[in-house]
Amino acid sequence: MHQPNQRVLLRIGVLLLPILLGSSSCPLAARCQTNVGGGLTRRGFQIEIDVTIRDGTRDILAVPANVKLYCSGTPCEEGSTSNGRIRFIMNGIGDFTITVDAAGYKPGQKDVKVSEPDKVQVEVNLERDTSSSRRPGAAENPILAPKAREALSKGMQALRDGKLDEAEKALDQAMQLAPNNPNVLYMQGLLNLKKHEWTKAQSVLEKATQIDPNSARALAALGMALCNQKKYAEAIPPLEKSVQLDAASGWETHWSLAESYYHSARFDEALKASQQAQAESNGQVPHVALLVAQALTAVGRYEDSATVLRDLLKNHGDGAEAVTARRYLERLTANGKIRQQ
């Protein structure tokens, strides 16, 4: 069977992120190092921020942690450490926020104001998290200033309402205020997807996932942007990671992954992913059923494929996919793959 020319659908209401608190933008060049040691090197307005992470007993944290440094609300640098210590060297003074995320602990945060070139010692104390709902490695909430948060909120609502011009105006403002905020970049990517601007969506979503590599939604949206460009091999890694991070990411993610597997001749995986998409959509999306039928045919399960196609005709006989389903059935019958009914 040939894959019908179908567009990857996005359920914007599912992919939209909640509005998150934060501050304004001020990107600075930076570099980070683990294993703090040695003295401060002064070059112009360079400062050194040495971060020590402690657990609830005041001992040095002994588990891996992800540490992010924000300048006035915009991500400046990120690093990971397994020994409870990390160093950031910044080429400018200002207001900084350090956030720490570690599996088994509640996210920690510390604000520090640096008004002159100096070496700054910062301690972040983490509390144990007894909740089982928090996933290891889940990122902390991005920080946004009030004006940027308001613009993002307006853009989200306009996108929900299908008012693309209003959404574009609001998100342009949010991008100007917080150009490196992963939520703003993610929303801009969704707008590009909604407008079928696949390459623009890919570009902005790649940036979003570089800043927040564990955002399941951004990874899913990036995979969809690639899938829509028929870059199936490139689409598989972000879609796979999205599903790993959030198994309940939605039928669209599994369908895009299944389509990418199918066009990469990975038919067993395509079947599994398409059946997952069908289950999550409660069998109400006919183009998902078509992909299930294609995958079943590809692995030689012709009668099962015919059953799926007949169910599609029974439940969606008036839809555009019904024409394709009938053609598939006729071909299976003509080729002697299924019994004629």
Q: What is the pLDDT of residues 250-276, one digit of tens each?
A: 899 999 999 999 999 999 999 999 999
Question: In the numeric block, which tokens belong to residue 270?
Answer: 């395509």
By three-state DSSP, how is residue 78 classified? strand
Cα dihedral: 227, 231, 233, 238 (round 10):
-50
Of the two residues 204 and 32, the one the predictor is more confident about is: 204
**327 domain residue, yes or no:** yes
pLDDT band of residue 73 (cuts 50, 70, 90) is low
Rounded Cα gap, residues 220 and 232, in angstroms: 13
Domain that holds residue 99: 30-125
pLDDT for 41: 34
- Highest average pLDDT, of 82-86, 91-95, 302-306, 313-317, comes from 302-306
**6 domain residue, yes or no:** no
Question: In the numeric block, which tokens belong to residue 221?
Answer: 């949206």
Domain co-membership, 200 together with 316: yes
Domain co-membership, 98 together with 169: no
By three-state DSSP, how is residue 248 classified? coil
Q: What is the CA radius of gyration of the chain?
A: 24
Q: Is it the case that residue 137 has pLDDT exceeding 60?
A: no
Section 103-123 average pLDDT:
84
- Residue 194 in contact with residue 159, Cβ under 8 Å? yes
Domain co-membership, 100 together with 173: no
Look at the alpha carbons of 153, 254, 6, 322 in this order and tell me if their dihedral is positive or negative.
negative
pLDDT band of residue 15 (cuts 50, 70, 90) is low
Q: Is it the case that residue 108 has pLDDT exceeding 50?
A: yes
Query: What is the side-by-side order of every strand in the sheet holding 74-81?
Result: 74-81, 65-71, 94-101, 108-114
Into how many domains does the chain fold? 2
Residue 69 one-letter amino acid: L
- Residue 85 in contact with residue 51, Cβ under 8 Å? yes
- Residue 54 in contact with residue 101, Cβ under 8 Å? no
Long-range contacts from 207-215, C-beta under 8 angstroms, 24+ separation: 208/182, 209/238, 211/75, 211/78, 211/180, 211/182, 211/185, 212/139, 212/142, 212/182, 214/137, 214/138, 214/139, 214/245, 215/139, 215/182, 215/186
Q: Is the pTM of this model over 0.85?
A: no
- Highest average pLDDT, of 68-77, 146-155, 286-295, comes from 286-295
Place of tokens 């350090």: 98
We report the CATH number of the domain holding residue 251 as 1.25.40.10
Q: Is it the case that residue 43 has pLDDT exceeding 50?
A: no
Q: Using the 8-state DSSP alphabet, how is residue 339 labeled?
A: -
Q: Is it the case that residue 27 has pLDDT exceeding 60?
A: no
- Residue 239 in contact with residue 231, Cβ under 8 Å? no
Which of these ranges, 2-6, 63-67, 168-172, has the smallest mean pLDDT?
2-6
Domain co-membership, 119 together with 261: no
Domain co-membership, 161 together with 98: no
Domain co-membership, 184 together with 300: yes
Q: Is it the case that residue 118 has pLDDT exceeding 70?
A: yes
Which of these ranges, 33-42, 168-177, 183-192, 287-296, has the smallest mean pLDDT?
33-42
We report the CATH number of the domain holding residue 119 as 2.60.40.10
- Residue 215 in contact with residue 186, Cβ under 8 Å? yes
pLDDT band of residue 45 (cuts 50, 70, 90) is low
Element (H, E) at 271: helix 267-280
pLDDT for 71: 78
Tell which residue, 294, 224, 337, 226, has the closest CA to residue 4. Answer: 294
**234 domain residue, yes or no:** yes
Domain co-membership, 212 together with 101: no
Q: Is it the case that residue 116 has pLDDT exceeding 60?
A: yes
- Tell me how far the alpha carbon of residue 53 is from its chain's centroid: 27
pLDDT for 199: 97
**35 domain residue, yes or no:** yes
**25 domain residue, yes or no:** no
Q: What is the pLDDT of residues 188-226, one digit of tens each?
A: 999 999 999 999 999 999 999 998 898 999 999 999 999
Of the two residues 43 and 92, the one the predictor is more confident about is: 92
CA angle 325, 315, 320 (to 5 degrees): 45
- Highest average pLDDT, of 21-35, 92-106, 204-218, comes from 204-218
Tell which residue, 222, 145, 140, 136, has the closest CA to residue 178. Answer: 145
The whole-chain average pLDDT of the chain stands at 82
**193 domain residue, yes or no:** yes
Q: Is it the case that residue 16 has pLDDT exceeding 70?
A: no
By three-state DSSP, how is residue 90 classified? strand
**296 domain residue, yes or no:** yes
